[in-house]
Amino acid sequence: MTANELIVCSSEILGGTPVFNGTRVPVKNLIDYLEAGDSLNDFLEDFPSVSREQAVQFLELAKEALLAQANASSNR
């Protein structure tokens, strides 16, 4: 699943806030939960419209993006 398939930004949904595709749940909510020490299961229980697959895929994409950025920075 690509970022474009996973995340939607539309002015018609929460004013363009990035949300999980097919939901009105901002992806930032997942990050906020994890930063607060809550588990992925806690997030999924509170936002049942987001599937486990979507949440895990988002975290995988975020990891890949951060690692790519770190590698690009270290190769300068």
What pTM, to 2 d.p., does this model score?
0.87
The count of domains in the chain is 1
Please give, one letter per residue, the 3-state secondary structure of the chain.
CCHHHHEECCCCCHHHCCEECCCCCEHHHHHHHHHCCCCHHHHHHHCCCCCHHHHHHHHHHHHHHHHHHHHHHHCC
**Structural domain boundaries enclosing 30:** 3-74
CATH number at residue 68: 1.10.10.10
pLDDT digit string (tens) for the chain, length 76 residues: 788 899 999 999 999 999 999 999 999 999 999 999 999 999 999 999 999 999 999 999 999 999 999 988 887 7
